[in-house]
Amino acid sequence: MTQQERQAFIRSLPLADIHRHFDGSIRPETLWELSEKYYSAVPGLDFEQFRHYLQWDDDLDNTLLDYLDKFHVPLQYTQFYDNIRRISYELAEDAWNDGVRLLELRLNPFIHRRAGLTTRQVIAATRKGFSTFGAEHPEFRAGIIVIAMRNHGGNMARILLREVIGEKEDYHAGVGVVGFDIAGHEAPYPPMLFKDAYDLATTMGLKKTAHAGESEGPERIWEALEYLGPQRIGHGTSAGQDPELMKRLARDGIYLEVCLSSNLQTGAVSDLKDHPLPRFLDAGIKVALCTDNPTVSSTCLSREYELAMEHFGLSEKDVVELARMSCQGTFLASGCHCKFPSAE
């Protein structure tokens, strides 16, 4: 199958992206426009230089810290309701144009409150952008997963959850909060610090996922399973080092949210050919192929499927099953509504 044939086949499928971050998915052109609006352009930079502050550069960037640095500039422009609403609409539009019909967006409301917005206003602006796009494209479904940052601690995670209880999907006709997540530096902030927050999320009726095993070993995934009880694990790359953990994940039907480009750039894997994705699939682990941060990684979901086909020899049948499985992993109350061709 040629590259063009692979692309056409992937684009024929209804895709689901259930691990995509708000602040890592903003159009560079939008951020540049906003920079000119607020600052009358950025002194000394043209647009191509500006993009470097937003997107991974193989020639200049090497580490996880380089990757995380890409999130600083967008935060200057995501402190205002109308900007968040516009960006959310554009996020939905970009996903739709790439064949995504089901999108779960990761959002940490706290980091968008520096100009005075409340947590509920940040979520309301995101909902508004998604709902406006959804009204124009009835086949599009979206939900919000709120993220607590590890370095903010367990108490702040519980405060965040209490602030979003009225934003749950159950209470809104369209888009709402469907899940809870923790993200950030793994090493100093073990999962046990967030046990009470995850217990509260369970009481609230939210589904649960947790970033684990991206920059740390499989022990962090074991701990997340023990203390947090998630239905899904964000990345979980280091699970490939532990056969017993892979058996546990397969046995309990725990999803791994796999992001190939991001895993390579952050150093979770040193080479894509060494990524454990094929071993996860062979072990019977449920996998959702996702983008993580399309702008930072200069990727899109269809490109991630292309990479999987190119590097791991996935057949058309394999790709259909992976796309179906990714959709079925959703936290949306309506479940997977996408129609897939027969895998025979």
Handedness of CA 243, 247, 250, 253 (dihedral sign): negative
Contacts of 189 (CB under 8 A, 6+ apart): 150, 151, 153
What pairs with residue 103 in β-bridges?
17, 142
How many residues make up the chain in this entry?
A: 344
Question: Is position 214 annotated as part of the catalytic site?
Answer: yes
Helix, strand and coil content of the chain, in percent to the nearest 5, comes to: 55, 15, 35
Alpha carbons 217 and 209: distance in angstroms, whole number: 17
Point out the catalytic residue in the list 104, 167, 169, 214: 214
257, 209 in Cβ contact below 8 A?
yes
**Count of CB atoms situated within 10 Å of the CB of 33:** 14
The three-class DSSP label of residue 233 is strand
Active site residues: 214
